[in-house]
Structure 1
């Protein structure tokens, strides 16, 4: 009866007999709805609904950040380049008068264009321990002699060219100057560095050579041209025949007159007889 009267008056009675007024129940439902309902957030100038349970929040445009995993910093990139470069020992300590040869044509042209300047060709290999140990000393000689040209030939990159030039031992050096062409060639290490010092002291003084710069021997030039692995061409120089009085001086002498045909010696016991033809 009481429950019916309560319903008639607008109140709500729970199964356990608890009576709640309509206003209180409405306020509780509104509070729960306020907690659950999404709030509005301002993103990029407009209000949008979100599940954020706080109040209004103004959020500007988000800036994208590069992932540090995939992108290396400039400092790290420079360190990597420095480490990679330090592994090439033959590039350390190079002087302005030192240069690495790129091809057979480059070697021939470099020797020809050097004129009367002393040129030292250094044949080396990156995997040669003797070459690596001697390299700082060669750089020191280059620094002390800036008027001397040092050319480096990497054996691993130019094996075919070195084979044509008959270079079979490393480290190996060849000295060239002007019209004299090749002055000397030898192999040495730190233990036998005196060879290099003596050759440098002997051929270092400036000398004026008469005639065009010679460079490589003609036999070496022909060997390089015949090598199919190299892109190098060379035409043998024609021999000039002198004219006039000079031609008379260079005329081949007449062959000497041979005596009459004789028969070979015939040994008979202890006597030797020469049988001469009777001319018939």
Structure 2
């Protein structure tokens, strides 16, 4: 291998695969090295050439070499389309964000209001935890590793992540104004609790998990969001979400109110009511 000697750019030439000098027959330079080329103009006189050829370093001939100046600007001028294609094809590695590292199989990113509603309905009797976060929130970033750890410890629960920066309008409709913010849902019971939690008050999150992760019987289909929240999402023009209110069915076992009882008593004797009306009219 060739070695660089100080600032004079003198490299020791290998004895094998050397090329012969046409004039003197001696070894003038070694095999081509990437990024390095010879410039014979540096040898201005025969005396310098003879000194270079007679100079020995560890028993090897040395010659003057000069590095090529590579224009790196042409490598940096890459079109934007080419860079995007390289990213799509995986040629350039994409560094994951902090809210993407450490994700568990039971953690999912919410993409829209319809996706949120469908995820709550499809969860069935599972415990669902809504995690509202922001990429610019320091408290969310500090709490996220512990959230991933708790998700790993509770594989039967479903964790849904809602990016506040991407879904601000949806968060306003759901009355979420503090971050990080959590909501717990389960089956037909709907929303169980909601609270704001930080890294210092992580015990609040653990207590809620211990309370609501126990096996509970929930009759009926999953409720998901409240009726008011569904109507608020449907009324929001920024969201492509449609919702039709369910028709209210009368309850046959409903206890009649006092007004209904009084009306029914007055209508028991129609003759008395007719007489009263006639007397009133005649008077």
Question: TM-score scaled to structure 1, two decimals?
Answer: 0.60
Counterpart selection for 2:229 from 220, 233, 248? 220
CA distance in 1, matches of 2:257, 2:247: 19
Aligned residues: 183
Alignment gaps of 5+ in structure 1:
1-66, 258-280
CA distance in 1, matches of 2:119, 2:181: 18
State the match for 1:252 in structure 2.
257
Cα deviations by residue, 1:180-224 (Å, 9 ceiling, x for unpaired): 100100011110000000000000112120111110011100100
Confirm whether residue 144 of structure 1 aligns to residue 153 of structure 2.
yes
Give SS of 1:186's match: strand
Counterpart selection for 1:195 from 204, 217, 220? 204
- Alpha carbons of structure 1 residues 79 and 133: separation in structure 2 relative to 1, 3 Å: farther
- Alpha carbons of structure 1 residues 242 and 255: separation in structure 2 relative to 1, 3 Å: closer
State the match for 1:180 in structure 2.
189
Offset, 1:112: 0.5
Counterpart selection for 2:106 from 94, 97, 103? 97
Cα deviations by residue, 1:13-70 (Å, 9 ceiling, x for unpaired): xxxxxxxxxxxxxxxxxxxxxxxxxxxxxxxxxxxxxxxxxxxxxxxxxxxxxx9826
State the match for 1:132 in structure 2.
141
Alignment gaps of 5+ in structure 2:
1-72, 263-283
Cα deviations by residue, 1:79-110 (Å, 9 ceiling, x for unpaired): 8424xx23x11000000100000000000000
State the match for 2:166 in structure 1.
157
CA distance in 1, matches of 2:223, 2:90: 45
State the match for 2:275 in structure 1.
none
Offset, 1:255: 6.1
Give SS of 2:135's match: coil
CA distance in 2, matches of 1:173, 1:91: 18
Confirm whether residue 81 of structure 1 aligns to residue 100 of structure 2.
no
Question: TM-score scaled to structure 2, two decimals?
Answer: 0.60
Confirm whether residue 207 of structure 1 aligns to residue 216 of structure 2.
yes
- For the pair shown, the structure with the greater C-alpha radius of gyration is 1
- Alpha carbons of structure 1 residues 136 and 79: separation in structure 2 relative to 1, 3 Å: farther
Offset, 1:251: 3.4
- Alpha carbons of structure 1 residues 133 and 80: separation in structure 2 relative to 1, 3 Å: farther
Give SS of 2:93's match: helix
CA distance in 1, matches of 2:161, 2:148: 11
CA distance in 2, matches of 1:102, 1:254: 50
CA distance in 1, matches of 2:113, 2:233: 8
Counterpart selection for 2:122 from 108, 113, 133? 113
Cα deviations by residue, 1:108-153 (Å, 9 ceiling, x for unpaired): 0000110000000000000000001111100001111111100000
